[in-house]
Amino acid sequence: MDRKELIKTTFLEKYGYVPKKYAVGPGRVDLLGIHTDYNDGFVLPIAVDMDVIICGDKRNDNIINIYSCNMDSKVSFDIENNNYDENEKWSNYSRGVIKYLKEYGAEFGGADLVLESNLPIGSGLSSSAALESATGMILQALYGFECSGEDMAQIGKKSENLMVGVATGIMDQFASCNCKKDHALFLDCRTLEYKQLPLDCSMYKVVVCDTKKRRGLVDSEYDMRRAQCFEVVDILKEIYPQKKITHLRDITQEMLEENKDKLSFVQYKRAKHVISENDRGLASVEALNRGDFKAFGELMNQSHDSARDFYEVSCPELEAMVEAARQAPGALSGRLAGAGFGGCCVALVAADKIEEFKASAKSYYDAKTGLDSEYWVCSASDGAREI
């Protein structure tokens, strides 16, 4: 049974009738832009062809019912009394979208919904943003209100920040809502201006390599890295009062080097990564526009090495997977995905070498770590949409 049939059958079992609309919200993987989003920098994600699929129909009241096939759990709440759920925490991503869609001015009522995800949780593919975008899209499909992909991304971010309580940047939600098939999305996290850059997935596939090491320390370390970045901003702001410095985005490599002695070694390293990662993001536009996959793969490798050495968000399992990926046939790159500290590595691999790549990487990694790694071959997908 395919996934659409699965949620249709489940919907019939749970609610006693057939759903009217279906939507998907894809996960995403970042190809460049490690920890640059909250520094007002540049990111380069794709939406992957793994997603949250959701079906539903309108109700004639203000009650939202959501059943998750993955969690085997159902929540019910009134739109007008929609608060954080301590017991069914998975539902808060959808609850937040519903709450902030209402604040946005969208007009909708209740709905019966069923969802299913094939995104591995905790692997760095942003299953949370996928759920947020799928929730917004199914309500839009059912009720027909206007909400652009850009605005829906902001609503998803607000849900994650305020309802769930995670201080993420905009990249995950923006990618899930606005990516385009066979393209990478180059996003300026300050202005939210973006470009679709060609990424021909018939020639090279994106392979997501799951270390099976679930991400640890992410919340505390994420907050620490963020604070360290803004410490640098505060110091450089005093030195350059004539410049409008609000984020590391506003600081050049030259400014950083000139004032290295005024920073701690840790502060210097954090800033060095972010500033150089923004430079790599800009270089990626040129590389992809001219179809230079080799140059782009090298930028991905540099991105990982910088995040490991200067931002210190890798771990032994990620390093083993990056080694495994880079030595495997057909690989142009191996780079940590997401926030780091575990989860997945992402590799750009020649389409005709995929099976050799997977066999080699798995043999190398599993032997080195004793873990049972898993691999997903992805193409760049369209963002959230009705199906």
For 120, which DSSP code?
P
Options 30, 51, 172, 250, the catalytic residue: 172
For 330, which DSSP code?
T
- Output phi, psi for 210, to 5 deg: -85, 120
182 is catalytic: no
Nearest-angstrom CA–CA distance, 340 and 360: 23
128 burial level (CB within 10 Å; 0-12, 13-18, 19+): buried
- Residue 277 near residue 34, CB atoms below 8 Å: yes
Distances (CA, A) of 253 to 36, 85, 249, 264, 271: 15, 45, 11, 16, 9
Q: What letter represents residue 276's amino acid?
A: S
Residue 311's SS3 state is helix
Burial 11-20 (b: 16+ CB within 10 A, else e): beebbeeebe
Question: What residues act catalytically?
Answer: 172
